[in-house]
Amino acid sequence: MPSRRKFIQTNILGAAAALAGRSTFAAGLPAAQQAVLPGDAGERDFWNDLPRYVSAQINEARARRLAELRAMRTEADVRARIDKVRSKVWKLVGGQFDKTPLKPQIVGTIDRSDYRIEKVIFESRPEVFVTANLYIPKKHKPPHPGIIVPLGHSTNGKSFYYYQYVCQSLARKGYVALPFDPFGQGERLQFLDPRTGKGLYGPTGEHDQAGRPMLLFGSQFEQYRIWDGIRAIDYLLSRPEVDPERIGCTGQSGGGTMTMWMAAMDPRIKAAAASDGQNENLAGPNYAPPGAVDDAEQNIAGSLPEGVDRGDLFLACAPRPLLIEYSTTDPGLTYSPTYDEGTTEIYREALAGYKLMGAADKVKLFGSPLPHAYDYFNRRATYEWFNRWLGREEWGTGESPYEDSAPDALNCTTTGQVLTSLGGRSVVRLNTDHMRKVAPAIQPLRTPEEAKAARERAQETLKQLLGLPAERTPLNPRVISSNIWRDDIAVDEFEFYSEPLVRVTGWFLRPARSGASVPTVVFVSEGGKNHILYETSEISRLAKKGFGVCAIDLRGLGVSIPHSPSAGPDFYAGMPLRERYAWTCFSLGKPLLGQRVWDFLRCLDYLESRREVDKGRIYGIGEEGAALAVLFSAVLDDRLHSVLFDRPIATYASIVESKSYSLDLTWFLFDVLRHFDLPDLTALLAPRPCWLLNATNAQGEALPESEVAAFYKRAVESFRQFNAPGQIHFEVCPEQESEKVFRGWLGMA
């Protein structure tokens, strides 16, 4: 198929090869591989298509970014890029908050021979309480250099052994150190089990549970984490013991990643030592999907279209002293199998920028021979770095024995948890407040003309949010097999190309003895297409009633679910593979939901090519999350005569407002709630028939019909304006009665 091959080779592999030249600024791309294209040899390896697509998109993004880096020639170029990175990153994560009174409290003190520890609580935002320990030297005269210490993913936060030890040692040497609990750790757990008082998810799980909903209103969990760090610096600067011109930052693991964020975004940090952080570009060398994605605050949704990757955060530290530490024996355990190579690449990118600024001696890469930890080698390198740039070299790199603390001795609250001791605003409350603040005022649709104009505006917005392709490429459809099933139903297995690297496969059922075109139901489900061939399927029985039934696997579902990579991180193995792909696609600015909507729209194109289909009577059914793909497609395309959503989530807002939710991240859409929610989009379908069957709350539980109707009040009014009040319909019934609902929706007796 020359057109498809030419498209792929010219626009994907060719672009990568053209931009992959040698450069002192950044490592080149791997050589483009002339791999077998999907389907060329009749393979049925549909599970490889999403990885192929993502890899091509990542390598294109990588090539574009490397071209930008190679174009820098002067110090002014580097400074312009730093300004761009800070501006873009703040915009992507949601922006800065207004600074409000810290209202600091010292609630206790632990006195030790060389230092004392003050137990501190401050408010990073109103009623957002941050628990911290301030380590203050005794044997040196103030003002001291001050070091903020963002923490890695320790359940006990600032009380974790390694983080205590580095702070004790810094204080003995002459530094004021401030470790502070982030959301989800230590005394700031946000999702407590009411029976035990313990956390439900663990640190990374808490970060994801809080961070996923933020995507829906156009913010990211980094926004909260960075802001806590900024306010921690504000607190340090309020202390007379601290020299405001000698502020440093160090952290390990997730704290190393946050050190990267903090040093990039706050120029008040004069020196940084990032240990074992996520030191890899997502669009890194020898990319293997889903790549180096981790929990919520370590990914940057929307960054790659802006030409920004993690390496730019280190570059944004220039020319301030920056030490990058990593484990040389850890690749594939904590992060990705290319961690060593990726860290080296990021260091070389930073070094090239530092050289252009005449500061090559201010950036250094250090590799520890031990696995992932703030081990002695990393700590010693950190002390040496800070002594050189903030303190005194004679303070040395040695350590005294670790001073243990009794359990909970470092706690600042009486119960060990902010939420049960002080109350305040939980992360769910913050998210809800934030969502409501940015949500648009949706105007009522008083006339069909207003509804038409609103739909046109929504279509343009949706195309942007979903990241839809600008043009349709050849479908190259193929019937793989044809059979007669149950004597009276003809079944075709087919495939078509939604995009050049992505095949969509499906089943087409129709009455075997009918030569006329038939009304056709398009069915999509989270569980994939195959269950329509089970004898118990209500959907397949529609073919006995004279309907065509087209069931497809949307991208990443059914037979197109990607296989697990041959090598990958152990530490983050708890994150489902589908979620890792979702994060990667968000970073690309091509949400997986948008890709699935495109697959559905291309299925409508495919049906137009089949003579058996009555083009004026195409119906859409979506189950659970897949109902969202049908809804968005129906807003975008008039070819859907009627839609039914089976067990859809009623609103996106309910996810933000809930402590728990069941919707998979692959069905989330970045920034959608700044424009509309699901009921608002449903209102735009009038007057086409639209049925909601067993709409659910955030936990996936069916809502009473009265609650669904209340959520969809505006949609009901929109249908009334079109003189079609009966065309929007809410049903709540047992699953075994769903066939009856399908028949009613289709107007069957």
Task: Give the CA angle between residues 578, 579, 584 to the nearest 5°.
Answer: 100
Last residue of a domain, one of 45, 71, 97: 71
Using CA atoms, how far apart are residues 203 and 222, in angstroms rounded to an integer?
15
pLDDT (0 to 100) of residue 38: 66
pLDDT (0 to 100) of residue 35: 42
pLDDT (0 to 100) of residue 536: 77
pLDDT (0 to 100) of residue 197: 87
- Residue 489 bridge partners (DSSP): 485, 511
Asked if residue 458 is part of any domain, the answer here is: no
| Residues 281, 283, 289, 290, CA torsion sign | positive
- Same domain, residue pair 194 and 141: yes
Task: Give the CA angle between residues 195, 198, 200 to the nearest 5°.
Answer: 90
Asked if residue 152 is part of any domain, the answer here is: yes
pLDDT (0 to 100) of residue 544: 86
Using CA atoms, how far apart are residues 308 and 564, in angstroms rounded to an integer?
27
pLDDT (0 to 100) of residue 39: 60
Using CA atoms, how far apart are residues 283 and 293, in angstroms rounded to an integer?
10
Q: Count of alpha carbons within 13 Å of 723, Cβ hemisphere only?
A: 0
- Same domain, residue pair 49 and 117: no
Asked if residue 573 is part of any domain, the answer here is: no
pLDDT (0 to 100) of residue 444: 83
Asked if residue 485 is part of any domain, the answer here is: yes
What residues have CB less than 8 Å from 582, skipping those under 6 apart? 591, 592, 664, 665, 666, 668
pLDDT (0 to 100) of residue 575: 79
Cα of first residue to Cα of last residue in the chain, in angstroms, is 47
Instruction: Check whether 417 has a pLDDT greater than 90.
Output: yes
Q: Which domain holds residue 528?
A: 469-563+586-745
Q: What is the pLDDT of residues 497-539, one digit of tens each?
A: 999 999 999 999 999 877 789 999 999 999 999 988 887 788 8
**Domain of 166: which CATH number?**
3.40.50.1820
pLDDT (0 to 100) of residue 66: 97
pLDDT (0 to 100) of residue 43: 81
Using CA atoms, how far apart are residues 675 and 447, in angstroms rounded to an integer?
20
Last residue of a domain, one of 17, 52, 71: 71
pLDDT (0 to 100) of residue 656: 98
pLDDT (0 to 100) of residue 639: 97
Q: Sorting pLDDT into bands at 50, 70 and 90, what band is 41?
A: low
Last residue of a domain, one of 409, 435, 461: 435
- Same domain, residue pair 229 and 361: yes
pLDDT (0 to 100) of residue 446: 82
Using CA atoms, how far apart are residues 354 and 363, in angstroms rounded to an integer?
7
Q: Sorting pLDDT into bands at 50, 70 and 90, what band is 237?
A: very high
- Residue 508 bridge partners (DSSP): 492, 550
Q: What is the pLDDT of residues 324-345, one digit of tens each?
A: 999 998 766 778 888 899 999 9
Q: What is the pLDDT of residues 544-579, one digit of tens each?
A: 889 999 999 999 999 999 998 877 666 556 678 999
Using CA atoms, how far apart are residues 48 and 52, in angstroms rounded to an integer?
6
CA 558 to chain centre: 22
Asked if residue 97 is part of any domain, the answer here is: no
- Same domain, residue pair 276 and 410: yes
Asked if residue 460 is part of any domain, the answer here is: no
pLDDT (0 to 100) of residue 6: 34
Whose tokens are 């038409």? That residue is 452
pLDDT (0 to 100) of residue 525: 96
- Same domain, residue pair 740 and 678: yes
What tokens does 224 get?
Answer: 């909260």
- Same domain, residue pair 154 and 226: yes
- Main-chain dihedrals φ then ψ at residue 125, nearest 5 degrees: -140, 165
Whose tokens are 């003002």? That residue is 143
- Same domain, residue pair 276 and 401: yes
- Same domain, residue pair 536 and 429: no
Q: Sorting pLDDT into bands at 50, 70 and 90, what band is 37?
A: low
Number of domains in the chain: 3
pLDDT (0 to 100) of residue 389: 98
Angle between helices 254-265 and 221-238 (to 10 degrees): 70
Bigger pLDDT: 633 vs 516: 633
Using CA atoms, how far apart are residues 513 and 693, in angstroms rounded to an integer?
32
pLDDT (0 to 100) of residue 741: 92
Please state which of the ranges 85-89, 288-292, 539-543 shows the lowest mean pLDDT.
539-543
For the chain, the average pLDDT equals: 92
- Same domain, residue pair 305 and 426: yes
CB atoms within 10 A of CB 138: 13
Asked whether the beta carbons of 597 and 636 are under 8 A apart, the reply is yes
What pTM, to 2 d.p., does this model score?
Answer: 0.93
- Same domain, residue pair 153 and 202: yes
At residue 90, what is the residue type? W
Distances (CA, A) of 667 to 148, 472, 525, 705: 37, 23, 12, 24
Q: Count of alpha carbons within 13 Å of 322, Cβ hemisphere only?
A: 30
DSSP letter for each residue of 312-381: HHHHTTTTS-EEEEEETT-TTTSS-TTHHHHHHHHHHHHHHHHHHTT-GGGEEEEEESSSSS--HHHHHH
Instruction: Check whether 10 has a pLDDT greater than 60.
Output: no
Q: Sorting pLDDT into bands at 50, 70 and 90, what band is 271?
A: very high
- Same domain, residue pair 63 and 137: no
Query: What's the whole-number mean pLDDT along residues 286-313?
Result: 94
Q: What is the pLDDT of residues 122-168, one digit of tens each?
A: 999 999 999 999 999 998 899 999 999 999 999 999 999 999 999 99
Asked if residue 687 is part of any domain, the answer here is: yes
CA 535 to chain centre: 38
Asked if residue 98 is part of any domain, the answer here is: no
- Residue 121 bridge partners (DSSP): 105, 131
- Same domain, residue pair 417 and 490: no
Nearest to residue 382, comparing CAs of 318, 421, 325, 303?
A: 325
Query: What's the whole-number mean pLDDT along residues 430-442?
Result: 95
Using CA atoms, how far apart are residues 145 and 173, in angstroms rounded to an integer?
10
